[in-house]
Structure 1
């Protein structure tokens, strides 16, 4: 008997076979993988029919992560040029980013996105600016990771207090301003991720309950994000692992990073000491001061780890030490062209300020709030003259903007002596390519700066001075 008589399906026209396969793929997410494995003809038909591959169901309850990555890449390639319906099935919210990572570079092709398991979510991706069909498409370049130690997904199904609508997802994975926002209990390792192409990354420890993210996990994630231009970490003031048991820290190269913002944490030194950021131009350190001993200040043997010879007053000696040593390490390794340094409720020891000022020739703006910095520190901004050869040394020679806010240890006389002397020198300097004139000086809420000092600063700086 002929083979065709035994196998009526083989006599069907290709168009009908495709229709059958499409119906099968609609009911069975892995249907294309099944049909392509039957025979050579079915393999050819399946692989050459993109419509069969447009629904990508990544089921972490059935397959492990490497298999899901292989499946995602295969579907992504075979479905070209169709839009994709992407679904993630998992009971673990920490797996969402690793599962999706191979597909994120093609997010502009997504038609819908949905999740099942730990939460139920459905997003019409073509309504977002990330879609290629949007009037002004945006790249998916911003990732926000919010860390929680427990789950708030039951809130997703409650009525929205602002709109009154029921069943609306309050914390969508993809937002209307073009961000990807995930809530997780732990950061993924770079070993679990396809390379991420985000240029902006925010990691935030949830405000409802303190989490304990260590420096090792942050640095490990950063190994998967080499394209970053902006990095923000907002934490809690909890200590890191004991040094005797601390996870070894990788050295992370972020060759394009331009802005680094670290806020409210005790792991500043461990983070800064393991970053290589040769293009960093803006560094913001906020709410790092603590009055308790932090383990990251217990390093020994590095240049500068000795006690501060100035013995200046400090309400936060341990965090001052850690912040200063972390900044020393970052600058020594990367030699960044830092132009903006902001320190808000963040301090260093006097000798760290001197070390840093001596190595920031491009710094244009320095802003410090609620600091215990002493008169010795503000005095570092004065020009110093070498009587032997008449040469002049001026730290941070390109400084144009200076803000001193709530610096209660500074005397008015020290502020006037430093800034008036500096202004006279830079205003009269002929080497304008070496020295910048002070263009904007703000002194705010410094108790020891009174009306007399304000008058002297106004005479020297004119409209460039604000109080």
Structure 2
């Protein structure tokens, strides 16, 4: 018979009663946690209810504030002007969208000028109905017409015929077509008396279509607009130069784009331009695709552009040789811009052409710009010594050396009327040279010298111009380190952004710039 007797003690020295007591305690704790969890859920429900109540009152606040916002308080004329701006920038549905917001916006959107921007496109489902609506709302306002003729079909032509009934109200016309054949067909319909028409933009490209022996250029421009007595501005984007242009225009922009059909005859182009007696502003854009352009015979006399005051040449470097074949006796502004990356060496052909142009025309230039174009140092010297009326010099990615720019130093330096300098990415120019230039001309003023003081200097991303040099110039004249003009060529290209530099400059010289030195005239923004 066994002598073993069961006991209430475990192998670890804890009795079964103690285990039961611990389990009971755990159960009590779990019940307490469940009670707390229930209370938490109740509090969360209350919090959610309070959040909903708070959001309700926030919505009421927003609604109240909405009744006193500037947009609600603004006069209808201001709102109408805003809606008109939206339509002018290309938002074709701006009048419709604005008129569906509220009664006040609807009232402002019914202003005739808001509906004066007419967009006739091939993609419209019902162009005639849309045209009827826009014309009925525009009433007698001047019309700014945009015609996008990717496909010319019967509904499109019906809408255009209705639009042509109001041709006397046209103020501007933009015509975009896939081919010049379409553009010619539509222009042939625009022969009405457009007395108010002032600006025309045409985008169409020549190409040989099925059944045609060869590609033809854009023709019919002179006939289409001969009854538009007030037409001043003509902008053409194509791959060939028109054979005839409206003779009354004063501002011509010709942009050669995409694929060339063959060599462009510069001689023929200049002959066409010479037929414009009132031409004051000329822009020629020729990318590298057109580098096979045929230059005129050097034996021919230069083309006389007797009324031209502003000339933009934007193209591949050799395109600047066109300067050798024109004479502009009253030219005031000359802009030479490259469509190609900088060559990083002087372009001799441009220098030769510019010297020939200045020598033969003797233009009274007031502004000279080189953008991504460099010429030999001797040609820079020739320009400075032969442009006594120059008031503004703009250099972008142009490696002009210190000794050449020093020719402008006062009191009897070259270009005595120079007042404004705009220098960007000029890697060879030192800050000391610029400071000396500004100081020498300011001293000349006090001594009644011949040189005008420098009134404005812009320096952007010039590696050898230190911050102290910028501040030194700012103590003598207005100095800027930012692109200010909204229409600036560099702003559109984004090549002269220097936000970090301006932040560092402001931080390092905060005491001077925030009022410690009132003699500093520095523009940072």
Q: Shorter-chain TM-score category?
A: 0.5 to 0.7
- C-alpha spacing 1:250/1:241, structure 2 compared with 1 (3 Å): farther
- Contact kept? 1:200, 1:231, Cα under 8 Å: yes
Counterpart for residue 345 of structure 1: 372
C-alpha distance in 2 between matches for 1:144 and 1:441: 35
Of residues 378, 383, 387, the one that matches 2:405 is 378
Instruction: After TM superposition, list the pairs within 5 Å mapping 1:16-415 onto structure 2.
Output: 118-119=181-182, 120-121=185-186, 131-132=194-195, 137-139=196-198, 148=205, 150=207, 180=234, 185-189=239-243, 193=244, 196-207=247-258, 212-237=263-288, 238-240=290-292, 250-287=301-338, 315-317=344-346, 320-383=347-410, 393-415=412-434
* Residue 446 of structure 1, CA deviation: 0.7
Instruction: After TM superposition, list the pairs within 5 Å mapping 1:416-455 onto structure 2.
Output: 416-425=435-444, 427-431=445-449, 434-455=450-471
1:36-91: per-residue Cα shift (whole Å, max 9, x none)? xxxxxxxxxxxxxxxxxxxxxxxxxxxxxxxxxxxxxxxxxxxxxxxxxxxxxxxx
Counterpart for residue 387 of structure 1: none
State the aligned residue count.
293
User: Structure 1, unaligned stretches of length 5 or more?
Assistant: 1-106, 154-172, 293-314, 384-391
Structure with bigger helix share is: 2
* Residue 109 of structure 1, CA deviation: 12
If asked which structure has higher relative contact order (CA below 8 Å, sep 6+), I would say 1
* Residue 228 of structure 1, CA deviation: 0.9
- SS of 1:273's equivalent in the other structure is helix
**Bigger Rg over Cα:** 2
User: Structure 2, unaligned stretches of length 5 or more?
Assistant: 1-166, 211-223, 478-518
C-alpha distance in 2 between matches for 1:284 and 1:235: 14
1:147-195: per-residue Cα shift (whole Å, max 9, x none)? 7453799xxxxxxxxxxxxxxxxxxx889x9755556543245xxx588
- What's the TM-score, normalizing by structure 1? 0.53
1:244-288: per-residue Cα shift (whole Å, max 9, x none)? x96865521111101000012334443111111111111111126
